[in-house]
Structure 1
Amino acid sequence: MLRRSFLQFGLAGLAAPALIGRATATAPDATGTKFNVTYFDVPAIKGARDVTDAGDGTIWVCGQRNGTLGRFDPRSGQLKIVELGHDAAPHGVIRGPDGAAWVTEGGQNAIARVDDRTHKVDLFKLPAERGRANLNTAIFDKNGILWFTGQNGIIGRFDPGTAKLEIKDAPRGPGAYGITLTPSGEAWYASLAGNHIAQINTGTFEITMVEPPTPGQGARRVWSDSKNRVWVSEWNSGNVSAYDTLSGTWKTWKLPGDKPRPYSVYVDDADKIWLTDFSANAIVHFDPVTEAFTGFASDKPGANVRQMDGRTGEAWGGESGNDRLVRIQTVKQA
């Protein structure tokens, strides 16, 4: 049943949700799998953007348009608002090895750490000569080093232990966007404007470009599966591609529909692929085994789901155009 209440802030910065779950379910597909789709309004998060699992059942979400980081509990509907600072415009958020939320904070041109318990915000600003990097996405490598992209043409690394921050120009200039880590420990990123993916040597900081088979494809986001394949959402071509880093081979599939625009890609722990298609106003599930696509169109126009993430049995995204979260649960039928 739909339950609504007005958003109210208390002394602790907590908010009651405007919507505690409105769910729909699909019929089982050919493999006996069904999906439950639930929407959660989070109106205090303006431009609900990138999301990640906070590790305790809650979800971190960036409010890019009002400089906030939200922590949402889908069980209670409770929302905690963290103000990131003057002129903040957070883009990406991940959970670090320390349990904290680490944010690529484009508005302040900084990496932000938000403590998991106290929600204290620490900023690590880029050098003045690297202003307006348009920070995008980050990962941690297996040694606890943070690697991040800036769409204005930078790749960076940050050591939380020493607070040392290093910046390098990306090959072909602007475009560095999504970034991922493979199970073998390799760091890969995608360049939207540069139309390529690239491996970062996490020891030497050398960057090696790899060209996808489709020219001008607009590689936007990347995510690794358990087999060291890097999955790529191709904004311009409408394809999803997989690059096998072990064999150096590619496979490519076109998303269904008229002129698809795949924005993000996320690989769940069952090696199923989730994409967001701006043209179809939908989240798209892809099974690499059956090569079947399943679409989940939003019930509101202009959803604009950007980066996705998830946890076992759940894929999450932020509808940046509607200031709400969407959760899709995968349910195997007996």
Structure 2
Amino acid sequence: MIVGRFAVQRRHIWLVLALLAGGINGAYAQDALTGRVSSNEEGAMEGVLVSAKKDGASITTTVATDAQGRYSFPAGRIEPGKYAISIRAVGYKLDGPKTVDVPTGTTATADLQLSKVKNLVPQLSNGEWLLSLPGADKQKAFLTLCVGCHTLQRVLTSNHDAAEFEQVFLRMARYSPGSTPTHPQPLLPGPRGERPAVTGAAAKAAAEFLASVSLGNSEAAEYPLKTLPRPKGRSTKVVITEYDLPRRNALAHDVIVDRDGKVWYSDFGAQVVGVMDPKTGATKDIAIPVVRPDQPKGGLDIEFDPDGNPWLAMMYQAAIAKIDRKTHDVSVFPFPGDWISPSAQASMVSPMHSNVDGKVWTNNQEDHSSYRLDLASGKFENLGPAKTPDGKQIRAYGMPSDQQNNLYQLEFGGGHIGRRDAKTREVTVWPTSGALTRPRRGRVDEQNRLWFAEYGGNAIGMFDPKTGAIKEWQMSTPWSAPYDVVAIRNGAEAWTGSMLTDQVSRIDTATGEVIDYLLPRTTNIRRVFVDSSTERPVLWIGSNHGASIVKVEPLD
């Protein structure tokens, strides 16, 4: 018995020694593809994003290099076949190899060589443009409004003079927010049909500033282009999966995952709700009926009700819709015609706690009124806009409801949070830390606390209704401009995304540590959804201008 036990122990010792002797090869034995990324300027390069896309496939997988410049694709992430390889490392380009064959049963190796680019302009994120521009942050802040429809590169490489820029401002006001340069959607003309344009002294100042810094203008001032540092440490421990949508003009605004693991998204520019199988990437489009044919198409907010059915805010169609999650049948609830004008829009819907009182909240973004749908009768109630104690209207954007189905209203145009009592209809208002923190969207956690993104404050916040106190966490990257936030694990961790820096951020709320995960390409991030049912959280977002859905999986 003693001899047998010693023999088993000896085999264990030899196994451990063999793994240690294997070094890197042993550590990467379960990988499908691995290699080292380097350049003549830096040698081994940390924080380079390496992407692999199989020929003919719609799914791209991305990993990041570690401190030794190593990258690895786990065997379960990519299957055998020929792959196109691409990288993201600002200031660098991939010299080669640009394709790799991944065999069956063994690990493929591809060491990648990078070289410096001569022109940084095509690689800059919106946030890096704002870092680079001369002038005070206050002077540049208006540019954060531009990225909803296009990148700042389009603006800052144009050759317009100041007078021409003013004409551009007027023209842009004639298109809906669900427009892009390749898919413009004109608004109806009329006294309230167009979006408010920048005019007067503000327009003149903005136009003169843009003309003075646009690189396409021969008279523009020269300034150095600045870049953000590449990821390092924990920010490199991630796997990112991007699913291309079959309609290449799809605008995946909000992405959410149902109880069966199916991925749903709202299309900001079309009468469609998509549902995707993340195992295969196969997508089905569910047609949403058109209510107002002459108005722009598309939906914004998509949320689940207590039964798991998605509800959609139908924007300029001035309606909300319920989709049966099993049959995909669609029920539409149009706003009463005498309440609305050509610019009426339902941007938000809040059915999450409709089981409390049989009511679903929504809004008319035109005048910031709160509407409430009674599910039993199918009729709407108009509660009007919320107001601050001094009588000013709260220009609310995000509208999450709490566990009692009271409605929060986040003042994107200022710095307040309002809460409308579901029973009394009364509104209570709390100020955030500044007049222009610009709370945008948010969620209520398990403790009934409101988490919200401060688009103008470069922070996220948490409001505790028990104490009336607000706590804030600053983002680590300038010009992050968070759009949405969700807290998980009883508030121990919060996730948000940037419309400007192509990063998603993970915040430890106890320590304030922020881990930024860079995405492999320009990504106009809106809604963030976190699946916390697994051992590690999984973040889902839409690439609103990239016609794709993105999954972010941290490895720690």
How far off its partner does 1:134 sit? 2.4
After superposing the two structures, state which structure 1 stretch, 229-238 or 135-144, moved more: 135-144
Aligned match of 2:38:
none
> Aligned partners of 2:321, 2:487: CA distance in 1, in Å?
25
Which residue identity does 2:332 align to in structure 1? Answer: L
Distance 1:26 1:244 in 2: 40
Which position in structure 2 is the counterpart of 1:47?
Answer: 251
Q: Which residue of 1 aligns with 2:263?
A: 59
Q: Which stretches in structure 2 are left out of the alignment for 5+ residues?
A: 1-51, 68-231, 291-295, 387-391
Instruction: For residue 60 of structure 1, report the CA deviation from its aligned partner.
Output: 0.7
Contact 2:450 2:463 in 1 (8 A): yes
Structure 2 Cα separation of the partners of residues 170 and 26 of structure 1: 50
Distance 1:126 1:174, change over 3 A: farther
Counterpart amino acid of residue 150 in structure 1: N
User: Bigger relative contact order, structure 1 or 2, given CA contacts below 8 A and separation 6+?
Assistant: 1
CA RMSD in angstroms comes to 2.6
Deviations 1:203-251 (A, max 9, x none): 2222222111212211111222333332221111212122121111122
How far does residue 82 in structure 1 lie from its aligned partner after superposition? Answer: 0.9
- In 2, Cα distance between the equivalents of 1:216 and 1:151? 19
- The verdict on how the C-alpha distance between 1:32 and 1:77 changes in structure 2, with shifts beyond 3 A counting, is closer
2:181 corresponds in structure 1 to: none
Give the Å deviation of 1:50: 0.8
2:317–2:346 contact (8 Å) kept in structure 1: no
Aligned-pair CA distance for 1:69: 0.5
Cα deviation per residue 1:97-145 (whole Å; 9 max; x = unaligned)?
2332110011311011112122122110011133233222222324142
**Alignment correspondent of 1:110:** 319
Structure 1 residues 32 and 315 mapped into 2: Cα distance closer, same or farther (>3 Å)? closer
Structure 1 residues 4, 163: closer, same or farther in 2, change over 3 A? farther
Unaligned runs of 5+ in 1: 6-17
Matches within 5 A, 1:233-312: 233-269=453-489, 271=491, 272-301=493-522, 303-312=523-532
2:363 to 139, 145, 149: 149
Q: Closer, same or farther in 2 for the Cα pair 1:188/1:27, shift >3 Å? A: farther
CA contact (8 A) 1:53 1:95 kept: no
Counterparts of 1:279 and 1:35 in 2: how far apart (Å)? 20
Counterpart of 1:180 in structure 2: which amino acid?
A: P
Distance in 2, matches of 1:154 and 1:4, equals 50
Higher share in strand: 1
Aligned with 1:162 (options 357, 370, 377) = 377
**1:305 is paired with a residue of what secondary structure?**
coil
- Between stretches 36-45 and 94-103, larger displacement belongs to 36-45
Q: SS of 2:338's equivalent?
A: helix
In 2, the alpha carbon distance for the partners of 1:224 and 1:66 equals: 29
Q: Deviations over 1:138-159 (max 9, x none)?
A: 2232414211233321212112
Q: Please tell me the residue identity of whatever aligns with 1:325.
A: I
**% identical aligned pairs:** 23
Matched residues in 2 for 1:81 and 1:57: separation?
17
Structure 1 residue 81 displacement after superposition: 0.4
8 A Cα contact 2:344 2:364, kept in partner: yes
Alpha carbons 1:151, 1:174 under 8 Å: kept: no
Aligned length: 319
1:179 aligns with 2:399: yes
- Aligned residue number for residue 338 of structure 2: 129
The whole-number CA distance in structure 1 between the counterparts of 2:237 and 2:445 is 22
Asked if the contact 1:189–1:222 (Cα under 8 Å) also holds between the matched residues in 2, the reply is no
- Which has a greater percent of helix? 2
Counterpart position of 2:218 = none
Name the amino acid aligned to 1:46.
Answer: A
The letter for the 1-side match of 2:517 is: F
State how far apart, in whole Å, the 1-side matches of 2:515 and 2:364 are.
32
> How far has the Cα of 1:25 moved from its partner?
5.9
Bigger Rg over Cα: 2
TM-fit CA distance, 1:258: 2.6
Secondary structure of the residue aligned to 2:243 is strand
Distance 1:213 1:178, change over 3 A: same
Aligned pair in 2 of structure 1 residues 297, 129: CA closer, same or farther (>3 Å)?
A: farther
Deviations 1:72-108 (A, max 9, x none): 1111211010111335311111111233211001131
Tell me by how many angstroms 1:296 deviates: 1.7
TM-score, normalised via structure 1 length = 0.86
Paired residue for 1:96? 305
Q: Per-residue deviation at 1:160?
A: 2.1
CA distance in 2, matches of 1:219, 1:305: 16
Match for residue 553 of structure 2 among 315, 318, 329? 329
Query: 1:21, 1:74 within 8 Å by CA — same for their partners in 2?
Result: no
Structure 1 distance, partners of 2:66, 2:336, is: 53
Look up the match of 1:218: 438
1:33 deviates by 11
Change (3 A) 1:30 1:2: closer
